[in-house]
Amino acid sequence: MTREEWLLKIVDRARPIFAELGAELPENIRPNLAPPHKKMKAIGLCWHGSAVADGGREIWISSEYDQPMEVCGILVHELAHAALPDRTGHKAPFVKLARALHLEGKATATSIGQAFFAVWEDFVAELGPIPGAKFNGNFPTTGRKPQETIPLKNLRCPDCGFFAKVKEDSLAVGRLRCPLDDEMLLTKDEGGE
């Protein structure tokens, strides 16, 4: 069994649960475990039909998670998004559905509790471990040194208000001029803001 097949079995098991709650799941749901992006904090994402060419739902779950019940909880959270209209986000309809699905905690970061375990534990135990390996979070390095951060300065035209940001060290080399009225752009200390 592949990871996707493992996740799809949970989707299939969830369909009647969602239907009973009056929240039909779309037919075309593609869940996947994906490596996390080092800048992204979300552990799961649901891409709605407007973002997907065939109108389906793409669900991505961070492969940093490998505990079956935990992944099941993340997937059910994302399925709640899939069952609701685009742009519902974590507003009241989502909160109501999440609570009915026995997800606990803040709507933006739900967790699983005893009631969730009662519904899902036997089924997830039958599925067994998630196929594949947990992502260990060691991102490959390029061998390049990190770029030195140079502070930015805001410059503004004193006449028309044209605005530009430049690296602070470039001010020693020369000054930009306003493309609209050819005035020299000034910093806030010089009267530019």
Domains of the chain by residue range: 3-127, 148-193
Measuring CA to CA, which residue among 23, 170, 4 is closest to residue 71?
Answer: 4
Neighbours of 4 (CB within 10 A): 13
Q: What percent of the chain has pLDDT over 70?
A: 90
Say which CATH architecture domain 3-127 belongs to.
Answer: 2-Layer Sandwich (3.30)
> Is residue 82 a contact partner of residue 26, using CB atoms and an 8 Å limit?
yes
Please tell me the distance from the alpha carbon of residue 39 to that of residue 111, in angstroms, as a whole number.
22
15 pLDDT higher than 90: yes
pLDDT band at 163 (very low <50, low <70, confident <90, very high): confident
pLDDT band at 138 (very low <50, low <70, confident <90, very high): low
Please tell me the distance from the alpha carbon of residue 183 to that of residue 55, in angstroms, as a whole number.
52
Residues 6+ apart with CB under 8 A from 152: 165, 166, 167, 168
Please tell me the distance from the alpha carbon of residue 40 to that of residue 19, in angstroms, as a whole number.
32
Identity (one letter) of the amino acid at 188? K
Residue with tokens 């097949």: 5
Please tell me the distance from the alpha carbon of residue 81 to that of residue 13, in angstroms, as a whole number.
17
pLDDT of the residue at 83: 95
Alpha carbon 146 to its chain centroid, in Å, reads 25
pLDDT of the residue at 35: 80
pLDDT of the residue at 137: 63
Identity (one letter) of the amino acid at 77? H
Q: How far is CA 51 from CA 7, 11, 44, 115, 161, in A?
A: 21, 20, 16, 33, 38
Per the DSSP assignment, residues forming a β-bridge with 12 are none
Q: What is the tens place of the pLDDT at every residue in 79-108? A: 999 999 988 989 999 999 999 999 999 999
Residues 6+ apart with CB under 8 A from 100: 21
pLDDT of the residue at 84: 94
pLDDT of the residue at 157: 84
Mean pLDDT of 128-136: 83
H-only helix segments in the chain:
3-20, 68-83, 92-100, 114-127
DSSP structural state of residue 26: P
- pTM of whole model > 0.75? no
193 pLDDT higher than 60: no
H-only helix segments in 102-185:
114-127
pLDDT band at 39 (very low <50, low <70, confident <90, very high): low
Return the structure tokens found at 180. 């609209």
